[in-house]
Homo-oligomer: A and B are copies of this chain.
Amino acid sequence: MAPSALRETVLRAAVDYIADHGPDGLSFRQLATDAGVSHQAPYHHFVDRKGIFRAIASEGFTQLAAALRDVEGETEADRALVLLERYVEFALDNRGHFRVMFRSELCVMESDPALQSIADEAFGALVDHVQADLGPQASLAEIRVRATAMWSLAHGLATLLIDGPLEVKIGEVADRRAFIRAVGAQMMLGQPKPPEN
């Protein structure tokens, strides 16, 4: 909680590393030597190896929740599209965080109520949107299904772009933003709306 220069340095370096190489090869010791401190110094700020992943996930969910707030748009579909776009762009701009956030082996949500509540807040932003759009007469099951569908679409697109073979396949797409919106429109509006290029 208390800000510390070393903690911040190490955290930044770790996020950068994960964004480039993934979390697997991340070395605590290397982070330490890069920061010019002894191999145990980072350990003091993040109890163990999992601690730094917990910190990264926490930071990520906080930022994601913020990114999904205050969505504006004329129609429900517009707002849903903005939500999708924000989600995917967050993932692309914060690969280091995103790669950690949804990896249950790295950050075990169940054992960390604080992290869980932050993650819930991000999901809550989505549920709120769905609830507002479906109206008060919507059943819980309806809301749950729609929220899951939207989340799945956004999450799938994001992960396929980051870790999957999709980036290569749609590499030729000139305007990525337009492509993301087209994919969203395809599903949210139930009718094709391909990009112009």
Contacts and interface: CB of A to CB of B under 8 A. Distances in A.
Contact of A165 (B123, B145, B179, B189): B123
B182 A145 contact: yes
Given A22-B103, A168-B110, A152 B156 contact: yes
Interface in A161-197: 162-166, 168-170, 173, 179, 182-184, 186-195, 197
Interface string A145-164: 11011011111111110111
A153 B148 contact: no
A162 B142 CA distance: 22
A93 interface: no
Interface residues of A, number: 58
Interface of A, helix, strand, loop or mixed by DSSP: helix
B104 A22 contact: yes
A139 interface: yes
Q: How many identical subunits does the complex contain?
A: 2
A187 B183 CA distance: 11
Contact of A159 (B156, B188, B194): B156
Interface string A1-36: 000000000000000000001111100000000000
A148 B165 contact: no
A154 B155 contact: no
A70 interface: no
A73 to B, nearest CB: 18
A75 to B, nearest CB: 14
B104 A152 contact: no
Interface in A110-128: 110, 116, 119, 123
A42 B24 CA distance: 21
9 contacts: A21-B105, A23-B24, A146-B186, A146-B192, A148-B160, A148-B183, A152-B157, A156-B156, A187-B187
